[in-house]
Structure formats: structure tokens, C-alpha cells
Amino acid sequence: MARVLVVDDEPRIVSFVARALVAQGFSVDGAYDGARALELVRTGAYQLVVLDLLLPGLDGVSVLRGIMESRPQQRVLVLSALSDVETKVSCLELGASDYLPKPFALAELVARVRARVREPSPGPAPRVLRAGPVTLDLVRRVADAGAGPVSLPEREFLLLQHLMLKRGEVCSRQQLLSEVWGYSFDPGSNVVDVCVGRLRAKLGADVIETVRGVGYRIAAP
């Protein structure tokens, strides 16, 4: 019998989801805060964690990061009222298997849980990206270009991660605005250039190359 952990600060939602999953043959535990969720994940064998982001104390993103640090192969389905693209992308890149916005249809949630539980167990998830002299720890959000580890805030981390995943390719400013900032339009600001400048200041001027009139890239190793 597959075990599922449902994490939400509203007991009625935990109960509602648990009843539906139990009716489908799952064994379900519940948690109402992030600390308890991490405790259960670290001590129990769950095929899936259904995780809300708006939790008291330790927020859901921090819980997700903690889960990935302790159990990087753990499947997590994020269930949250936060439906903006930036939050979705951040959770998926941290290691979430799926993301379902609230309000949700119970039938869809059950179908997604079934689909995730049926998936074969993944191999070890990559924790670190490498491109030339640069390494990026995806869990700790720490970059190192040879001068020592540097912690990166959200946007700098996402930008560097995108460039490293596309290493060798030129990424246009519009592409970066769309993929990293979630903009479907050009806001007419220099946010991309400013963020690149901050990364260069922390990691070295040669880490990110400017392709004049086009965009930026990190050279392939």
C-alpha cells in the first residue's frame, strides 16, 4: 500500500484530501506545519508528499528545500494557492515532481497522486551543475567559481542556473525575462543586465559572456 503525506495548515483540507486518497487505497498521514512535515519525511517512507506552501513557521518552500536535502529522491506534489509562474518554476527547479494550484478539483488531485506514485523510482538527482570553472549547488543555492562558495539570492540563482543549463547557447534578454522573471513582455528596464552585473561581481567578470546585441551565455566546458 502506497504511503502519502499530506501537509497543509488547514486541518479540513488535510482531512478532505486524506479521505479521498484512503478511499482509493492509499495510506495517508497528515501534518499541519513545516517542522512536523520534515520530521515525518525524514523518518518515514512515503511514496509521495502533497505539500502546501503557506505553512506557519517554516514555509513550504523551505520545507521543500529541506526534503530535497535529506531525501533528494522524494517525490513532492506542491498544492498551493500561490499560482504565479515564478513560484511554480522555483518549486519545480528545487525538485518538486508536480504543482497543482488551489482551488483544485479533487478528481484531478487523485489522478496526479496516482500518476506520481506509479512512476519508477528516480535515480539520484543531480545536486550540482558545472560549467567551466563554475559550480552551482542546486539545493544550497551556492555558487563557486574558484574563489570560494557564494550564497545567491533567488533571482541571481535562477539566472545563473538557466545560463548553466543552456551553457554554450546565447540567451537573449527577452528569453531571460520570460524564463527567469516570468515576464511575457519587456518591462523596459535593465533588470537582466543588473542581475548579470551582480553575478559577475560575486563570481568574476569572465564567468558570463556578453554577446553584443543578442544576450548572454556561459561558455561550454
Contact 27, 1 (CB under 8 A): yes
The mean pLDDT of the chain is: 88
Q: Report pLDDT for 102.
A: 87
Q: Report pLDDT for 122.
A: 53
- Average pLDDT on 4-29 reads 95
Quick check: 134 pLDDT over 60? yes
What structural domains and CATH numbers belong to the chain? 3-118 (3.40.50.2300), 128-217 (1.10.10.10)
Looking up cell 515532481 gives 97
Burial 73-100 (b: 16+ CB within 10 A, else e): ebbbbbbbebeeeebbbbbeebbbbbbb
- Average pLDDT on 145-159 reads 89
Query: Residue 117 carries which DSSP code?
Result: H
- Average pLDDT on 98-118 reads 91
Strands 76-80 and 98-101: parallel
| Confidence band, pLDDT 50/70/90 cuts, at residue 187 | low
Residue 29's beta-bridge partner residues? 5
Higher pLDDT: 123 or 15? It is 15
Q: Report pLDDT for 124.
A: 55
Quick check: 209 pLDDT over 80? yes
- Average pLDDT on 79-106 reads 86
Q: Report pLDDT for 121.
A: 57
| Confidence band, pLDDT 50/70/90 cuts, at residue 42 | confident
In the chain, the amino acid numbered 134 is V
Quick check: 125 pLDDT over 70? no
Strands 150-151 and 134-137: unpaired
pLDDT in tens, 110-121: 999 999 888 765
